[in-house]
Amino acid sequence: MFRSQLPSVDATAVPADAVLLDVREHDEWAAGHAEGALHIPMGEVVARIGELPADGTVHVVCRVGGRSAQVTQYLIAQGRDAVNVSGGMLDWEAAGRPVVAGEGAEGYVL
């Protein structure tokens, strides 16, 4: 059976002005996230899809890339332009991209 490859990019290739959707749980988000990211936990994406911009690419991230891959597949099935951030927030942090917690304090990936 032929299966198309899920669109994905490395953390280093995510543009600074990209729409970044973080689908991790609340405790993971609170520990540290990419500045400017939109937080909608994976289990809430279906109900909150209207909070995502209708146009443009949504870059989806989780801790390592599994949950974000599932959400990316769902968004594509809904006609959205979505890309999985492979390696997730662990690769984001390892690449030296900023991770913040509440009030802009330095965060970490849980």
- Per DSSP (E only), the strands in the chain are 8-10, 19-22, 38-39, 57-61, 81-86
Instruction: Say whether 62 is catalytic.
Output: yes
Q: Which of 62, 69, 75, 109 is catalytic?
A: 62
| Dist. CA 91–CA 55, nearest whole Å | 26
| Dist. CA 22–CA 33, nearest whole Å | 8
Other C-beta atoms lying within 10 Å of the C-beta of residue 52 = 18
Catalytic residue set: 62
